[in-house]
Amino acid sequence: MTFSAAVPVLTSPNTRLPDPWNSPADGPVAVGGDLSSDRLIEAYEKGIFPWFSDDDGPVLWWSPDPRAILLLEDFKPSKSLRKVIRKGYFHLTFDQAFSEVVSACAEPRPNSTETWITPNMQRAYIALHELELGHSVECWRGEELVGGLYGISLGSMFFGESMFSKVSNASKVALAGLVDHLSRWSFTLLDCQIMNPHLRSLGAIDMPRNQFLSLLLENRRRTTRMGPWEYSIEHN
Residue 37: phi, psi to the nearest 5?
Answer: -60, -40
Among 46, 64, 82, give the residue marking a domain's end: 64
101 & 143 share domain: yes
Same structural domain, 79 and 47? no
What confidence tens digit (pLDDT) does each residue in 3-45 have? 555 889 998 888 999 999 999 999 999 999 999 999 999 999 9
Asked if residue 163 and residue 230 are part of one domain, the reply reads: yes
Same domain, yes or no: 43 and 93: no
* Helix, strand and coil in the chain, % to nearest 5: 35, 25, 45
Domain of 156 in residue numbering reads as 68-235
Residue 195 and residue 213 share a domain: yes
Any domain includes 227: yes
Mean pLDDT over each residue of the chain, to the nearest integer: 93
State the Cα–Cα distance between residues 230 and 184, nearest whole angstrom: 13
Local confidence band at 56 (pLDDT 50, 70, 90 cut-offs): confident
What was the pLDDT predicted at 116? 80
pLDDT at 91 (0 to 100)? 96
Do 179 and 204 share a domain, yes or no?
yes
Q: What residues contact 170, with CB distance under 8 A and at least 6 apart?
A: 90, 139, 141, 146, 147, 148
Same domain (yes/no): 115, 174: yes
Q: Is the pLDDT of residue 234 over 90?
A: no
Closest alpha carbon to 219 in 69, 6, 38, 18 = 69
pLDDT band at 57 (very low <50, low <70, confident <90, very high): confident
Residues 168 and 87 in one domain: yes
CATH number at residue 46: 3.30.70.3550
